[in-house]
Structure 1
Amino acid sequence: MRKILIIGVLILTSTAAFSQGAYKPINLGTFDRKVYHFGFLLGFNSADVYIDRKSDFASQDSLLSLNSKNQSGFNLGIVAAYHFNKNISVRFLPTLSFEDRVLNYVFYAGPDSTTRYEKRIESTYIDFPINFKFRTDRLRNSAFYALAGGRYRINMQSEKDVKNEVADKILVKTDNNDFAVEFGGGVDLYLQYFKFGIELKMVVGVKNLLIPEATQFSNPLESLRSRTLLISFTFEG
């Protein structure tokens, strides 16, 4: 997740420096007069989870540690934007998101001995985000913006109905519906034939996704909430 954050900041910083360079002709001079714009997005994500442990977690002496490890994925989506004026707009971005998350468990197995398990939570989401976008005036062929909003998510790869029987194959089950809030910012670049956007966004789930089960992997957990860092590239005509 840190790598994507650093890459995103570097891209936005270098873009800002580039946009302040030598004189350039105005591209797409009438672009902002349109009320509607459509396009598509490509993105990369780093997915993780917030882990809330049960209050008696410390007393479960067979479980020595539990943590999560973020995983990389990608996103494909459509952009539909309605502009209230040149500085404020609302966007609907139905997206297909491929996200994986990993939980790492370490159990006590005897003197000087431990057993480790890696439990992967694989997800293919259909996302329905709605964002409010607050943009600066154009600086020749660029403009900077902040955004905030929320999304409803459906996991098409949920394994909530799988039977857990063998320890090595036991799954940490999660619900197939999620709600999340999101916030971030970016830069719009007006190119000769289309508007190209680069944005960095954090998506934080507000729903407990955990499906409780009487397994050694679910018992220590109170809740799991999704967390995703996105860097997206938008193309609008």
Structure 2
Amino acid sequence: MLKHFKYIFLFLLATSSLISKGQSRNLRLYDQRPIHFGFYVGINMYDFQLRMKEDISQVADFYGVRSEVSPGYSIGIVSDLRLGHHLNFRFLPSFVNTERTLYFDMVNKYSGERLIQERKIESSLVQAPFELKLKSDRIENHRWYVLTGITFSFDLASKEKVEDDLIFKLKSSDLSYDFGVGMDIYFEYFKLSPQIKAFFGVNDLTVQDGTVPVSGLESTRTRGILFCLTFE
């Protein structure tokens, strides 16, 4: 799936270059504005970094785990503050919907059989990303940039306090550090910015509820990637 994102990103850059090539210099004074706004839409792939305990042979009824990701969507508002010719500060309040599936190799507590058991985790995240955007010099109607920042997340769909042994629970609050790369493409009336951004969760989201899946895990952290188009 990451390979597909790379191809989509390169295709958009090539197409946008052809569209804007030969045009006059668009939005000449746009980057001189002290503050401006926009929005973004994107496709995300959220996964987990699962760290099992060092010696799972000592953990009763637990033999292993793997994850499977599904594409989700992200939408958000862009608030951009100009700090200098090459640097901007950005705040992007967002809503993210995503789904992940964990497959546990463990003993079923009811039948006593060793089975691969599925746990689906649906998340509806309200996020508050804060970013620094470092930009290159503008060349005609293009400008490259890199991003770095942090994101605070709260999961509206969290089942952290639900008492059910068949649910793999995650804590509702998370913090991640983020890195991204993209390109600003200036058209006559707006700026389009395709970008790819990666997320690396800091917090251990494991809820210690005493169930077998939790007993074999040392930590559960978020990993994710976002491909999006920003319109400003």
**TM-score where L is the length of structure 1:** 0.89
**Distance across 2 between alignment mates of 1:150 and 1:22:** 35
Aligned residues of 2:61 and 2:212 also touching (Cα < 8 A): no
**Partner residue, 1:41:** 40
1:25 matches 2:21: no
CA drift at 1:4:
4.7
Tell me the alpha carbon deviations over residues 127-168 of structure 1, each in whole angstroms, 9 at most, x when there is no partner.
000010001111111100011000111111100121114xxx
- Amino acid corresponding to residue 199 of structure 1 in structure 2: Q
CA drift at 1:14:
2.3
State which of 204, 216, 220 in structure 1 corresponds to 2:216: 220
Secondary structure of 1:23 counterpart:
coil
Tell me the alpha carbon deviations over residues 180-215 of structure 1, each in whole angstroms, 9 at most, x when there is no partner.
000010001101111111110001100001111211
Secondary structure of 2:212 counterpart:
coil
- Amino acid corresponding to residue 194 of structure 1 in structure 2: F
**Distance across 2 between alignment mates of 1:179 and 1:30:** 36
CA drift at 1:116:
1.4
CA drift at 1:114:
4.7
1:173 matches 2:173: no
**Distance across 2 between alignment mates of 1:90 and 1:194:** 19
The structure-2 alpha-carbon separation of the partners of 1:95 and 1:181, relative to structure 1 and needing over 3 Å to count, comes to same
Secondary structure of 1:137 counterpart:
coil
The structure-2 alpha-carbon separation of the partners of 1:202 and 1:8, relative to structure 1 and needing over 3 Å to count, comes to farther
CA drift at 1:216:
1.4
Aligned residues of 1:4 and 1:46 also touching (Cα < 8 A): no
**Distance across 2 between alignment mates of 1:11 and 1:211:** 42
**Distance across 1 between alignment mates of 2:36 and 2:102:** 41
Identity percentage of aligned residues: 29
Tell me the alpha carbon deviations over residues 92-149 of structure 1, each in whole angstroms, 9 at most, x when there is no partner.
000000121111112368xxx8511111111111100001000111111110001100
**Distance across 2 between alignment mates of 1:231 and 1:145:** 15
Q: Which ranges of structure 2 fall in alignment gaps of 5 or more residues? A: none
Q: Which ranges of structure 1 fall in alignment gaps of 5 or more residues? A: none
Secondary structure of 1:7 counterpart:
helix
**Partner residue, 1:129:** 129
Secondary structure of 1:6 counterpart:
helix
- What is the count of residue pairs matched by the alignment? 228
Aligned residues of 2:79 and 2:92 also touching (Cα < 8 A): yes
**Partner residue, 2:191:** 195
Task: State how 1:62-211 maps to structure 2 within 5 Å.
Answer: 62-107=61-106, 114-165=114-165, 170-211=166-207
1:7 matches 2:7: yes
The structure-2 alpha-carbon separation of the partners of 1:230 and 1:87, relative to structure 1 and needing over 3 Å to count, comes to same
Secondary structure of 1:188 counterpart:
strand
CA drift at 1:59:
3.4
**Distance across 2 between alignment mates of 1:12 and 1:147:** 19
CA drift at 1:86:
2.6
**Distance across 2 between alignment mates of 1:8 and 1:90:** 27
RMSD: 2.0
CA drift at 1:2:
1.9
**TM-score where L is the length of structure 2:** 0.91
**Distance across 2 between alignment mates of 1:54 and 1:65:** 10
Secondary structure of 2:69 counterpart:
strand
**Distance across 1 between alignment mates of 2:16 and 2:145:** 12
Aligned residues of 1:4 and 1:229 also touching (Cα < 8 A): no
